[in-house]
Structure 1
Amino acid sequence: MIIKSFFDTNLMVRHLYETIAYGVIIGTSIFLRLFQLSERAMHHDESLHSFYSWQLAQGNGLTHNPMMHGPLQMELTAGVFFLFGDSDFTARLIYVIAGSALTLIPLIFREWLGREGAIITAIMLSVSPSLLYFSRFARNDILMAVFTFVIIMLVWDYLKKGSNRRLYWIAGLMALSFCTKESAFLVTGMIGLYCIAIYITQIGFQSLPLINLRTDSYPVIYKTFSGSIVDSIRAGISITTIPRSASMAIFLIALTLPQWAAVTGIIQHTFLFNWTNLILVGEVGNIGMPVGGGKVIAFLATSILFGLSAYLGYKWCWRIWWRSTLLFYAIWLTAYTTFFTNIGGGISSGLWQSLGYWIVQQGEARGDQPFFYYLIITPTYEYLPLITSVLAATYYIRRKNKFGIYLAYWCLSTFILYTIASEKMPWLLVNIALPMIVLSGQFLGSLVNKINWSKALRPRQLFLFFVGPVTMISFGIIVLTLPDYKTDTTLLIPIAITILLGYLCHLILRRSNSTTIQSSLALLCIGSGLFLLILTIRTSIEASFKNSDIPVEMMVYTQTSPDLKLTMKSIDALADQMKPDKSPQITIDQTSGFTWPWTWYLRNYEKVDYPVFSDSNKPSASETNVVLVHSRNKDASDKAYSRDFHPPIRVPHRWWFPEHKYRDIDFLKFTSGIVSMKSWKELTQYWLFRQGVAEEIGSEDAYLYVREDHPDINFVTDKIRHGP
């Protein structure tokens, strides 16, 4: 078994350095994810997930709402709350555990990643800016990363070895994925397409003896090839007669087919279905659910897919199918029905609305990001795996390395799928970064094995090791220090230095013989990679600790400002002052969703009101101690609270990165920027120091009204925007 090798004591003894390496990696990973975990203000999404987890832990139940994706994260967090209490720290603890566990997965699959490749992959997973940040963030993306990584590796393991035990592991992990987030559909489809492509390729090779490429016309070749596919299907789909690639594709289809029932909602507004006036996925009210007669169609579609799933399972391998399906739906039903407390609603929302809701949301294009969004944010944070994975994919395709091509397919298909999807968010970078890191780690590990370490300290080899870092440092220094002349000829200086160093590398490599050139190239790549790893660690620390709730980072998306966290601390201090006789009364204006994150922060306060102030519902003076109103309601609030309260303080409730910095880019601006020293300087200043955006941070503000006895608050957002 795969897991057994993990606990093989003899293996640990033989490879002591591996044990030490993984101990350091996992220790560092846990430390980075736990350190100052509760310091960042709770994001809107985090507060939603945490509050409903708390409600469940309090015994108030949980009803699946696809707006918050699958119910698993809330159920796991509720368990943490039950065991350790509820706080910002424990609200993020399950994600810390998942992010730390992610760094151990390469150890389990080092048979395929290689010993060195697994260690390098684990290091990169540990310090990845996006994976670290969202391992400290109460969203389910890091949970999906864990499940996806293991599924991808188990699929490959099955394709190579064929052990049916892997199928049960895959079934269980698939169930957890579908209970976590709808991106499970993308993962399933991506793997299924790969297996089908491999199967078709295998059929193609079997058809080659029947085809004469010199004399046969294209119709004849097509007829021969398609005939081979038809003959293969007629021969049956039993697990004992078909290739493993086809077997895996059928297994995934038979296992998950009923989950895809809501896909029929795509035809709702087409000429095929529009004439019926039936609603399969509602766009208002209970979004994603069928309405009226659409419920009948939804029931029939789901029933047919269940029947087809059983038929495929019976024809393929009944014993494996029913066991896998039982495992899948045991997990799935437990999660979606919240431990069988919401059976009818949980099953219907899980089978239909979970996908139906997000089919509707694709039309909303939440985030409204440009198509090139991931081409901007990926090199901002995940530059090391981005560069390395491109090199690795090119190398493995040329060498026809099947495992490398498999990982490259995972990288490319993931990037394409998330680029096509209308919703583009920074937390989805986790899904893009993960395959790039795995491919990069495996590739860098193979390069380490190619280095002739006995000759690595020779001057020529040392030059190759350091030439990459020296080139990058020189380029950065020159770009940052040269003045912005009206002409951009100064850009030729760093380009000339880069060309010169590249030419010196070329001369050294030309003098290398065939046995040393691979070692020389490997040293060149490893030296550059090590330097980029150091920069990556710096980027991670900046994003996760220094700027964790400050939107000079592109990953900080519509984030609750740190001033709200400070306000909450002052409310807690006020409550301590008023004990034991009284407790503070707090009023929060609900306008524009300002309920969150206050519903989470004030969950243990009894005297909290959430009115929606407007022209027809104006604020009025009361016994309240603290009032927070939306900026658009300030004038009416001033009249109500001017007598008994201090002058209001403007506080950013949520703030965001100035997205016009990249939204306005078009082809002309891009091409002119490439040859502009000023553009390179601004880009380098942001990439290294996050300069040039703080003063343009956008925000939606509130006004805070407090009485004279309220503790002082040392707000920080103005200092961040305008400097001390």
Structure 2
Amino acid sequence: MALDDPSAPQLDDNHARGNVAVYTPPRRGAMRFRITLESILWICLGVLATLTRFWDLGSRAQHHDESLHVYYSWLLAVGAGYIHDPLMHGPSLFHTTALAYFLFGDNDYSSRVFPAVCGVLLVLMPWLLRGPNLLGRWGALTLGTLILFSPTLLYYTRFIRHDPYILVGTLGVIIACLRYLERPAPRWVMMIGLCTGFLFATMEVSFIVGFVIVTFLVAVVTWQVAKPLFVVGLGTLAALAGVWFIMPRLGAAPLPAIPWEHPTNQNIRQFTLDLVQHPIVLASLGVLLLGLIAGLAVIDKVRDPDADGWLDGVLGKAPDGSSANRVYLLLKDKRTLGLAVLGGATIYVVLYTTMFTNMPGLASGTVGALGYWLGQHGVQRAEQPWFYYLLMLPQYEFIGVLLFPVGLLITVRKLVPHLLHGAAISRRDYLRGFVVYWALMHLAIFSWAGEKMPWLTVHMTLPLLVLAASVIGEALEWVEARLHAGMLSRQAAIAVAVGIPLLTGAWFMLWAWGTAGPWVQGERFVQRTLRPEVADNPWLLYLPLLGLLALLAIGWRKLGAAALVRVAGISLVAVTLLGQIHTGFRMSYIEGDTPVDMLIYVQSTPDVTRVVEEMGI
């Protein structure tokens, strides 16, 4: 059975097992919008996203990178033009910021308007994933909530850098791909094309995003069409890894240095000649050629000789609804595919040429940008260790990091039986498998890259939040389905869900009160002691913990282990979310231009804005 075979159990079968709630699509011709609890929650998310992203947006002093982006955007706004420079990534940020200056005037607030717009869009875009075979209603709402209160995403969507733009483009491409795989429609193809053009006109991270999406899709399609082809691909990758790992240890010289600092026609030509003649490159080309020959042999063996052409012969008989079938339908729809490519290319060309006033921008945006940032790999600005992001993420993204092992375990438990024995899986398992791959590949690639910066943490945060939302959403649907069916005690579930935050908060407050005793002079310094009541009765500090254990024991008896784990887990996520809200509020609204957190880096000082205000500038 294919990885996303439509014959696998979907909504009805899952609901029969109580895994997901009932979802009834609106009738054709009926009014599609009505006031429901879900729509009210989405409106609340939109309002909160707007307030949190736009409130006090201009008070923070500009970061070093922000100052560069603001200056060159201002030059474009006043008619001095703009010439793309790979140092400052793609042109979309400069064009949109110049537009903001035209509409709202040039000031710190308007400089950050479009990144804030991206922040609001990020919160609302999960609405497109609310289908029962994707994240579901609860999963989509959960993702919007997690994005809303993510400290990392909150801070950097109030920050004039390219990363908020990239996040919107990345999520847009992934949503469009998932929706097309679920139910093909031209609008999703157009969305893929436009978002791809926007991505590549924004930042070189787009190459990483494209690599992740394409490699996953190729792996799935080859597995569905011909498993030997999948094996050939894995073997080719393993051989390439061997070439790049073994040959330097056998004495092969390092690759020629990329002339990123002062590129000229002569040194670029010399670099190209040295590169194509290098033993590692020649060996890699040989491996790729052998892999291509082996792959073509497999394709020739599995294709239908009676079909009209290679496309029909290889993909034409793919199971209806599978990824291979969707790719086949896309490649057959040449008109829609052509319009999508044209739309993306138009965005790319118009922005990189600054509306056709800088034609060399087409070269600097492709070869120039890729060459510059590959050259920066060896420079390793900031000199961060390979485990940098493993230190950054747990400090701010508590929920995403804590639930990643849970999501990984669920994914492995579903996918391994399918891959080994052909066991059926749902489209949600398929989605979760992609998100795990997305998260792991981003973490691996960004950790390998020479330049590691705190703002790049957002690109690992997003897949972690999607995976966490998938886990939380399914837990909510599981509980909801059983409550509606009368299989769970509503009173016991509410008691556990409400009792855990209350007792946890009481424990925290009791410790805060009990340890805030009088100050006493020690041998070397003044120290704070316990309150006398606590010093005489230390067991008082553990009363909420005993109450929590008693609550869990009662919940176990009333609900059962499976329900207790889900209800208690959801409640603990809510408690953890409060910690994220506190962290995000402190960084974004109190210490936004004071670098006391690792996430705030190369920041200036609040004295800048104070001096400007005092001078009346």
- Which amino acid in structure 2 is aligned with residue 376 of structure 1? L
Spell out, residue by residue over 1:488-539, the C-alpha distance to the aligned partner (whole angstroms, 9 max, x if none): xxxxx999999978976775566467xx544322211111011111221111
Matches within 5 A, 1:86-485: 86-111=106-131, 112-203=134-225, 225=228, 281-286=258-263, 291-294=268-271, 317=332, 319=335, 321-343=337-359, 345-400=360-415, 401-451=429-479, 452-453=482-483, 458-459=491-492, 462-463=495-496, 466-467=499-500, 470=503, 474=507, 481=515
Query: Post-superposition shift, 1:568?
Result: 2.2
CA distance in 2, matches of 1:330, 1:297: 35
Q: Which moved more, 1:517-526 or 1:80-89?
A: 517-526
Query: Post-superposition shift, 1:19?
Result: 2.4
- Alpha-carbon spacing, 1:289–1:478, altered in 2? closer, same or farther (3 Å): farther
CA distance in 2, matches of 1:202, 1:548: 49
- Alpha-carbon spacing, 1:35–1:228, altered in 2? closer, same or farther (3 Å): closer
- Which amino acid in structure 2 is aligned with residue 546 of structure 1? I
Equivalence for 2:89:
69
CA distance in 2, matches of 1:190, 1:533: 29
> Which 5+ residue runs of structure 1 have no aligned equivalent?
208-224, 231-266, 302-312, 486-492, 574-724
Structure 2 SS opposite 1:427: helix
CA distance in 1, matches of 2:209, 2:147: 19
Query: Post-superposition shift, 1:290?
Result: 5.5
Q: Could you tell me whether the CA contact under 8 Å between 1:282 and 1:289 is conserved in 2?
A: no
Equivalence for 1:592:
none
Q: Indicate yes or no: 2:82 matched with 1:49.
A: no
Structure 2 SS opposite 1:11: coil
CA distance in 1, matches of 2:495, 2:446: 41
Equivalence for 1:239:
none
- Which amino acid in structure 2 is aligned with residue 40 of structure 1? R
Query: Post-superposition shift, 1:88?
Result: 0.5
Spell out, residue by residue over 1:30-55, the C-alpha distance to the aligned partner (whole angstroms, 9 max, x if none): 11111111110011110111111110
Equivalence for 1:715:
none
CA distance in 1, matches of 2:221, 2:214: 11
- Alpha-carbon spacing, 1:404–1:289, altered in 2? closer, same or farther (3 Å): farther
- Which amino acid in structure 1 is aligned with residue 261 of structure 2? V
- Which amino acid in structure 1 is aligned with residue 495 of structure 2? L
Q: Could you tell me whether the CA contact under 8 Å between 2:594 and 2:605 is conserved in 1?
A: yes
CA distance in 1, matches of 2:230, 2:469: 42
- Alpha-carbon spacing, 1:145–1:274, altered in 2? closer, same or farther (3 Å): closer
Equivalence for 2:524:
none
- Alpha-carbon spacing, 1:41–1:378, altered in 2? closer, same or farther (3 Å): same
Matches within 5 A, 1:483-562: 507-508=553-554, 511=557, 517-562=561-606
Q: Could you tell me whether the CA contact under 8 Å between 1:467 and 1:524 is conserved in 2?
A: yes
Structure 2 SS opposite 1:533: helix
Spell out, residue by residue over 1:349-403, the C-alpha distance to the aligned partner (whole angstroms, 9 max, x if none): 0121111110011111122112222222211111022212332332243244222
Spell out, residue by residue over 1:254-279, the C-alpha distance to the aligned partner (whole angstroms, 9 max, x if none): xxxxxxxxxxxxx9xx999989x8x7
CA distance in 1, matches of 2:274, 2:616: 53
Query: Post-superposition shift, 1:294?
Result: 4.9
- Alpha-carbon spacing, 1:418–1:442, altered in 2? closer, same or farther (3 Å): same
Matches within 5 A, 1:523-672: 523-572=567-616
- Which amino acid in structure 1 is aligned with residue 32 of structure 2? L
- Which amino acid in structure 1 is aligned with residue 436 of structure 2? A
- Alpha-carbon spacing, 1:367–1:477, altered in 2? closer, same or farther (3 Å): farther
- Alpha-carbon spacing, 1:227–1:561, altered in 2? closer, same or farther (3 Å): closer
Spell out, residue by residue over 1:83-103, the C-alpha distance to the aligned partner (whole angstroms, 9 max, x if none): 221110111001111111111
Spell out, residue by residue over 1:133-169, the C-alpha distance to the aligned partner (whole angstroms, 9 max, x if none): 1111000101111111111122222233344542332
CA distance in 2, matches of 1:134, 1:227: 39
Q: Could you tell me whether the CA contact under 8 Å between 1:478 and 1:494 is conserved in 2?
A: no
Q: Could you tell me whether the CA contact under 8 Å between 2:496 and 2:567 is conserved in 1?
A: no
Q: Could you tell me whether the CA contact under 8 Å between 1:109 and 1:118 is conserved in 2?
A: yes
Q: Could you tell me whether the CA contact under 8 Å between 2:115 and 2:159 is conserved in 1?
A: yes
Q: Could you tell me whether the CA contact under 8 Å between 2:193 and 2:343 is conserved in 1?
A: yes
Equivalence for 1:82:
102
CA distance in 2, matches of 1:67, 1:108: 34
CA distance in 1, matches of 2:29, 2:352: 37
CA distance in 2, matches of 1:34, 1:546: 15
TM-score normalised by length of structure 2: 0.70
Query: Post-superposition shift, 1:184?
Result: 0.4
CA distance in 2, matches of 1:394, 1:73: 39
CA distance in 1, matches of 2:594, 2:511: 29
Query: Post-superposition shift, 1:188?
Result: 0.5
Structure 1 SS opposite 2:587: helix
CA distance in 1, matches of 2:577, 2:266: 47
Structure 1 SS opposite 2:616: helix
Equivalence for 2:304:
none
Q: Could you tell me whether the CA contact under 8 Å between 1:288 and 1:360 is conserved in 2?
A: no
Query: Post-superposition shift, 1:338?
Result: 0.5
Spell out, residue by residue over 1:182-225, the C-alpha distance to the aligned partner (whole angstroms, 9 max, x if none): 0000100011121122124324xx66xxxxxxxxxxxxxxxxx3
CA distance in 1, matches of 2:595, 2:510: 26
Query: Post-superposition shift, 1:569?
Result: 2.4
- Alpha-carbon spacing, 1:478–1:365, altered in 2? closer, same or farther (3 Å): farther
- Alpha-carbon spacing, 1:476–1:143, altered in 2? closer, same or farther (3 Å): farther
Query: Post-superposition shift, 1:468?
Result: 6.7
CA distance in 1, matches of 2:573, 2:191: 34
- Alpha-carbon spacing, 1:472–1:67, altered in 2? closer, same or farther (3 Å): farther
- Alpha-carbon spacing, 1:227–1:295, altered in 2? closer, same or farther (3 Å): closer
Structure 2 SS opposite 1:338: coil
Q: Could you tell me whether the CA contact under 8 Å between 2:154 and 2:588 is conserved in 1?
A: yes
CA distance in 2, matches of 1:289, 1:72: 31
CA distance in 1, matches of 2:232, 2:187: 28
CA distance in 1, matches of 2:398, 2:186: 38
CA distance in 2, matches of 1:321, 1:314: 18
Report how many aligned residue pairs link the two structures.
Answer: 493
Give the number of the structure with larger relative contact order, counting CA–CA contacts within 8 Å between residues 6 or more apart. Answer: 2
- Alpha-carbon spacing, 1:288–1:18, altered in 2? closer, same or farther (3 Å): farther
CA distance in 2, matches of 1:440, 1:288: 49
CA distance in 2, matches of 1:494, 1:171: 62
Query: Post-superposition shift, 1:417?
Result: 2.0
Query: Post-superposition shift, 1:68?
Result: 0.7
Q: Could you tell me whether the CA contact under 8 Å between 1:465 and 1:526 is conserved in 2?
A: no
Query: Post-superposition shift, 1:12?
Result: 2.1
CA distance in 1, matches of 2:587, 2:231: 54
CA distance in 2, matches of 1:41, 1:524: 42
Structure 2 SS opposite 1:10: coil
Q: Could you tell me whether the CA contact under 8 Å between 1:288 and 1:355 is conserved in 2?
A: no
Query: Post-superposition shift, 1:319?
Result: 4.4
Equivalence for 1:38:
58
Equivalence for 1:683:
none
> Which 5+ residue runs of structure 2 have no aligned equivalent?
1-24, 234-246, 282-308, 312-330, 416-428, 517-526, 530-538
